Chain A
Amino acid sequence: MTPAALKDAAITALIALGLFAPIVGLRTDVGQTGELILRQRWGDVAILVGLAFAGRLALLGWRRYRGEPKPPSAARTEAIRRAGTFVAPVLLAFAVALPLIPGTGRYELDLGILVLTYVMLGWGLNIVVGLAGLLDLGYVAFYAVGAYSYALLATNFGLSFWICLPLAGILAAFWGILLGFPVLRLRGDYLAIVTLAFGEIIRIVLLNWVSLTNGPNGISGIPRPTFFGLSFSMSGEPDTFAGFFGIEPSPSHRVIFLYYLILGLALLTNWVSIRLRRQPLGRAWEALREDEIACRALGINITATKLTAFALGAMFAGFAGSFFATRQGFISPESFTFIESAIILAIVVLGGMGSQIGIAIAALVMIGGFEVFRDLDEWRMLVFGGAMVLIMVVRPRGLVGHRTPTVALGKRRSISAEHVAEGHG
């Protein structure tokens, strides 16, 4: 503990005092007459300043102890890649077996469904951001389109889930193309902000078009999914799931069915993106991500490439959306705020952009971690945002920051992520 470190930590504490003294130290409360009154909380400020001091000292000590950070070597990324080939089947087997493991209750399955929904959304967005390199901050709009498509078609026309699912996907893909056209010429951050605006426009329209969407009250009474026409009701009639198979009716049947449904949908997304990556289209996406000008020079149709990426990404969001609607039975514009888009994008980036297994792990860590901190209430989002910053600062390349070329001439070599430039698209 050198004097220099102490001085540094003291300065940090001083800055922390400046930051926390007004906002934390003086809390404004609405008094009895409607006037704001101040409540002083200097104890909390002292704790925070102390934490800043200790934290800075610990950080400096850790840096001295560790020395200069080493850049990731090709051998290390290769080792991680090998480990990845084992992790993926294990995770998949775990996901398939989860409902069968004894001790798995309603809560675990619901959490599993939630995580898998985000895994699916992450894989869907990965097509747009990870493969095609188009930064999309309004992905939740397509999720909303899918959810509202199913909800409206099912409640107004009585169409079943299995007819609505492809319809919702098609409608969302259509919206994806509709958004894609105007933004074809935009690049990078401009694209990000226009997609964000688009997401907000969809949400505002859903909120205000009361005659169609019932506005902020949302749509309730959305039909539950059926198992090839067999409903999951508890009556035990022959036309219900339990009655048809002659088993005891149980509410867990529906949850297990929903779990396998979203698992299947997620795996479909994964399968399609893995297959497409090897096709000319997928290669064009990845080429577009690396260098748009080179792509044009080589005669790749940029318009078609970008639009297919938007349409496919949106389609999977539409599927996920209609799944969300049928699972909840109730949707309102509140479920489709910007924060959802941010969470999905964070999952893709934390997963390492383009790595399927990385995204699955990132979704598990983020959404699972979010659930672990359930008791923290309003502190939860604070921890969540802090974790986002922290992971980015510590591992800016995401959890799986390596990439092997999808198509290679001769021997397949792992490229360290430091050498690929993505997100310029």
Chain B
Amino acid sequence: MAYALQQLINGVSLGMIYGLIAVGYTMVYGIIGMINFAHGDIFMIGAFVALISVVMFVSGGIMEGPAAILLVLLISMCITALYGWTVERVAYRPLRGSFRLAPLISAIGMSIVLQNYVQVAQGARVKPIDALLPGGVTIVEHSSFVVQFSYMQMLIITVTLGVLAVFTWLVTRTPLGRAMRACEQDRKMAALLGIDTDRTISLTFVIGAALAAVAGTMFLLRYGVIDFYIGFLAGVKAFTAAVLGGIGSLPGAVLGGLLIGLIETFWSAYFSVQYKDVAAFSILAITLIFMPTGLLGRAEVEKV
């Protein structure tokens, strides 16, 4: 029981990270109907920017504690958002209105570019950092097993919930959110009604990238080790989460992320670590076969 509780805590904190990335996928898919294949690598860029700022501020002894984490988070969000914007501007916008495989290929190309760009610029070796926020709260203490809720996991869950709250407010209560939802429903009509769709799409990418940066920073702080290749697997799993929750649905993305995180953690804990990715991908295939619209997705009405 204690073991399961520990896995639950681990699974939720991992799931939050997947959920944050999944939101970026689902937003972009909802608004322009393409798989932003480079989104996983945007997450990786976020982790690297966070790494560089951690080394700059914390290891240099300039700042420490929660203030440093907040600063690192902000820097990572700004720079990564800029990357998200640039990727959209360079690789996707010229292809708008083209046939639908073109942006996908372009996105795969962009993903290769970002991965290798970071490899060339930062080296291929894994980058370790020291824990910024060590320790935690012991919840259950057994003779054989100690359930620990680390401060880092608490931070991940709090920050994610906070960021998601701000994001939900942005989408449901602001003019920008209204424009985004309008574009999602019908881009042409939205344009006719005077919404600057190009700007809205750009901002969607910026917000998605900022959320991915939060995920990247949390990933770095939680696991302490990153390399240029982390984006691919995290990206595929986050996309799986988005599909599982119902693509286009924002709460669905977070729910899907949590589920994927839990499945992966429990599978590793009780069955085998090697096949944890197989478990996540099998869930994806099974969901799509029996529930093609995902958990919270809307059924697509097909008109001929």
Give the Cβ gap from B292 to chain A, nearest Cβ, in Å: 6
Q: Can you list 7 residue pairs at the A/B interface with Cβ under 8 Å?
A: A24-B121, A129-B101, A183-B288, A192-B35, A342-B108, A381-B115, A382-B116
Known: A182-B285, A392-B105. 9 other contacts (CB 8 A): A23-B52, A28-B55, A186-B292, A189-B35, A192-B104, A198-B285, A293-B304, A382-B117, A393-B90
Q: Given known contacts A197-B284, A346-B108, A388-B108, is B100 in contact with A37 (CB within 8 Å)?
A: no
A205 and B278 within 8 A (CB): yes
Known: A23-B49, A27-B123. A397 touches B99 (CB 8 A): yes
Residues of chain A contacted by B111 (CB below 8 angstroms): 385
| Chain A residues in 8 Å Cβ range of B304 | 293
Residue from the list A22, A204, A346 in contact with B275, Cβ < 8 A: A204
Pick from A194, A208, A349: contact of B288, CB below 8 A.
A194
Q: Is A157 an interface residue (CB 8 A)?
A: no
1/0 per residue, CB under 8 A from B, across A131-151: the answer is 000010000000000000000
Task: Tell me if A201 counts as interface (CB < 8 A to partner B).
Answer: yes
Residue count of chain B within 8 Å CB distance of chain A: 70
B52 A193 Cβ-Cβ under 8 A:
no
Please name the residue on chain A nearest to B113 by beta carbon.
A385
Say yes or no for A422: interface residue by CB 8 A criterion: yes
Looking at the complex, which one of A22, A29, A182 makes contact with B289 (CB distance below 8 Å)? A182
Q: Hey, which chain A residues are within 8 Å of B106, CB to CB?
A: 388-389, 392-393
Report how far A18 CA is from B45 CA in the complex, Å: 13
- With CB as the reference atom, state the residue of chain B lying closest to A190: B288
Identify the closest chain A residue to B54 (Cβ). A36
Q: Which residues of B contact A198 (CB under 8 A)?
A: 281, 285
The reply to whether A392 and B102 form a contact with Cβ atoms under 8 Å apart is: yes
CB pair B110–A389 under 8 Å, yes or no, is: yes
Are A346 and B109 in contact (CB-based, < 8 A)?
Answer: yes
**A residues touching B (Cβ–Cβ < 8 Å)?**
15, 18-19, 22-24, 26-30, 34-38, 129, 135, 182-183, 185-186, 188-190, 192-194, 196-198, 200-201, 204-205, 207-208, 293, 338-339, 342, 345-346, 349-350, 353, 378-379, 381-382, 384-389, 392-393, 396-397, 417, 421-424
Asked if A22 and B79 make an inter-chain contact with CB atoms under 8 angstroms apart, the answer reads: yes
- B172-180, B189-197, B232-240: which lies at the interface: B232-240
User: Is B8 engaged at the interface, CB distance under 8 Å to the other chain?
Assistant: no
Counting CB contacts under 8 A, is B5 at the interface? no
Pair B124/A378 contact, Cβ less than 8 Å:
yes
Whether B100 contacts A190 by the Cβ 8 Å rule is no
Considering the complex, give the chain B residue whose CB is closest to the CB of A380. Answer: B116
Distance, CA A424 to CA B35, complexed state (A)? 14
For the residues of B in contact with A, the DSSP-based class is helix
Would you call A201 and B55 a contact (CB within 8 A)? no
Chain B residues within 8 Å of A26, by CB: 52, 55-56
Give the residue among A185, A194, A421, A423 with the most B Cβ atoms within 10 A.
A194
Contact (Cβ within 8 A) A36 B59: yes
Partner of B82 from A18, A29, A34 at Cβ < 8 Å: A18
- In the complex, the answer to whether A396 meets B102 with C-beta atoms within 8 Å is yes
Partner of B110, one of A18, A190, A385, A421: A385
Q: Give Cα distance in the complex from A24 to B109, angstroms.
A: 20
In chain B between 47 and 70, which residues have their CB closer than 8 angstroms to a CB of chain A? Answer: 48-49, 51-53, 55-56, 59
Cβ distance A251 to chain B, nearest Cβ, rounded Å: 34
- Give the residue of A185, A192, A338 whose beta carbon is less than 8 angstroms from that of B292: A185
Q: In this complex, what residue of B is CB-closest to A215?
A: B274
Cross-chain contact B121 with A338 (CB below 8 angstroms): no
CA distance A190 to B292 in the complex (A): 9
Smallest CB-CB A-B distances: 9 pairs: A388-B109, A385-B112, A197-B281, A385-B113, A396-B102, A382-B116, A389-B109, A392-B106, A396-B98
Distance A22 CA – B76 CA, assembled complex (angstroms) = 10
- Is B142 in the interface zone, CB < 8 Å from A? no
Residues in A neighbouring B132, C-beta threshold 8 A: none
| In the bound complex, CA of A393 to CA of B103 (Å) | 9
User: In the complex, which of the residues B99, B240, B281, B284 contacts A396, with contact meaning CB atoms closer than 8 Å?
Assistant: B99
Beta-carbon contact of B277 and A204 below 8 Å: yes
- Pick the contact of A23 from B45, B105, B110, B240 — CB < 8 Å? B45
Contact A385 to B109, CB < 8 A, known contacts A23-B45, A35-B59, A205-B278: yes
B127 CB contacts on chain A under 8 angstroms: 28, 30, 36
Give Cα A194–Cα B244 distance, bound, in whole angstroms.
12
Q: Are A193 and B109 in contact (CB under 8 A)?
A: no
CB-nearest residue of chain A relative to B119? A378
With A205-B278, A208-B275, A293-B302: A384-B112 Cβ-Cβ less than 8 Å: yes
Q: Which of B45, B55, B122 contacts A37 (CB 8 A)?
A: B55
CB within 8 A of B116: which of A22, A129, A190, A381?
A381
Q: Which residue of chain A is the closest to B114 with respect to CB atoms? A: A385
Complex Cα distance, B274 from A424, in Å, reads 35
Residues A393 and B95 in contact in the complex (CB < 8 Å), given A19-B82, A204-B275: yes
Complex CA gap A241/B302 in Å reads 62
Residues of B within 8 A of A342 (CB): 108, 112
Query: Please, how many angstroms separate the alpha-carbon atoms of A30 and B109 in the complex?
Result: 30
